[in-house]
Amino acid sequence: MEGISFSLADRLEIVRLLDMLGVDYIEGGFPHSNPKDKEFFEEIRKKGPQNSKMVAFGSTRKARNKVEEDPGLAALLSAGTPAICVVAKSWDLHVREVLKTGLDENLRMIDQTVRYLKKHKLEVILDAEHFFDGYKANPEYAVKTIGAGVEAGADQIVLCDTNGGSLPFEVEKIVATVKPLVPVVLGIHAHNDSGCAVANTLAAVNAGARHVQGTINGFGERCGNADLCAVTAGLAFKMDMKVLTPPAFKRLTEVSRAVSELANLPPQPGQPYVGASAFSHKGGLHIHAVSQNPKTYEHINPEMVGNERRVLLSELSGQATVLKKFERMKISTDKETMQRILQELQKLENQGYQFEAAEASFELLARGQIGTRNRYFELEGFRVIVERRNTDGLPVTEATVKVRVGANRMLMASEGDGPVDALNGALRGALERFYPQISEMHLVDYKVRVINPRAATAARVRVNISSRDARNVWSTIGVSENLIEASWQALVDSIEYKLTKDGVPSR
């Protein structure tokens, strides 16, 4: 996939995660294509997966090569995996214009390659590349290609929608037509170029396919492959198929997010089953219904895939939303105060705040309205200086804060990598003497969003900060035309929430 390049360590970790889920096969790459793939198979031979079967990927012999002399096949054998997946052309267009060989020669290439690998007592999976496009163009020849694989002894035949342009009703009809012609296990490999990879996969299974290929989160060429998170959950919970195991499904969300982290990509919030928004409810009508019975707006229990239900706060929120939040926060209040909190919430959201991603700030807001918010310190002022001392060096940032803790007035300065880092260091330095619990927390994420970009450099910005300690992660928010002020608001909330959460009394 564009933008993704896994290191060797990343790939070994993904093998561990897939093995933990109990997937049947893990395709590790093409050992003939690059040194990284070759090194991967060398490492995986030392300590392979416990539950899954490793697969090396390659292609049929080249048109002018003998199987015994084909370097690609030699590399596949050297990978040392118990199973081999070889791709074969099933579309006559590709045979003529890409392989630049004859249709009969392509059939011989398939036959000889599969027989050669079977002589080495390997399990052979034959990927019929571009099968659906090939079948639409020349069904007789497309069927001959998979027939050649079957006759040669292939253990599994996989029909590939390589261009990703087929639709579910087409896939289901073609798979149903081909299934009686294939006496071995039939599989499906779908790309997502028309947005149908998952649907095409499920349609193929409904028509008789029993081998499914895909990737975690759908990462793959162009628009991606079938997302195994959605595919496996759909097979298990919608089609009553035995895939993975129930304990493994409870780690599906964890695995999805771990692979995104390894890919250095943010998790997709709207991803089915495992996305952070998959079981999130924002509208008051929805939240009220879900509080009565989750089935009203949830197609499965989120815990089945290791996800969780989230009730979001926004200008759409009604009393049911806030009540649900209060239950989690163990806060009780009267209707008048509740209405006041809702009005304040709507006013702030109109100014650019978004509390659905900053629930710690919302709790502090609510406690302030109720009268139970502790004020652990008072700000008397802060100053941030950014100075560049020469043309070659990096800017030096220094922050100074003046705060009052009870009767104590503290002045603290700190240098940092930037204004926010310097402010954070100065504020913590001033407070840790009085509140040593602060030393347990640290910032894990910092995001800035321009709210009204048409205002250019005078635009208002929204800052979200995520913090964590040994037990929890929480997010806070600040909004201002001044980036430093917005960051300060979020920093203060992050520290106050930590102390509130730990039950620390104010001084």
Query: Which pLDDT does position 286 carry in this prediction?
Result: 82
CATH 4.10.430.20 in the chain: give the residue spans.
245-311
Cα-trace Rg, the chain = 29
Q: For all residues of the chain together, what is the average pLDDT?
A: 90
**Tens digit of each residue's pLDDT (9 = 90 or more) over 177-217:** 999 999 999 999 999 999 999 999 999 999 999 999 999 99
Each residue of 66-96: pLDDT tens digit? 999 999 999 999 999 999 999 999 999 999 9
112-128 per-position pLDDT tens digit: 999 999 999 999 999 99
Q: What is the pLDDT of residue 456?
A: 66
Share of the chain above pLDDT 90, in %: 65
Q: Where in the chain is the domain with CATH 3.20.20.70?
A: 8-243
Per-residue pLDDT, averaged over 295-323, amounts to 77
CATH topology of domain 245-311: H-NS DNA Binding Protein (4.10.430)
Angstrom CA distances, 393 to 387, 398, 414, 426, stand at: 10, 15, 19, 23
**Single-letter amino acid, residue 27:** E
Q: Which residues pair with 480 in a beta bridge?
A: 461
Q: What CATH number labels 377-434?
A: 3.30.160
Does residue 224 contact residue 197 with C-beta atoms inside 8 Å?
yes
pLDDT band at 370; cut points 50, 70, 90: confident
DSSP notation for 459-497: --EEEEEEEE-SS-EEEEEEEESSHHHHHHHHHHHHHHH
Q: Answer for the pair 260, 217: CB distance below 8 angstroms, yes or no.
A: yes
191 or 319, greater pLDDT: 191
> What is the rounded distance in angstroms from the CA atom of residue 109 to the CA atom of residue 87?
11
> 8-243, which class in CATH?
alpha beta
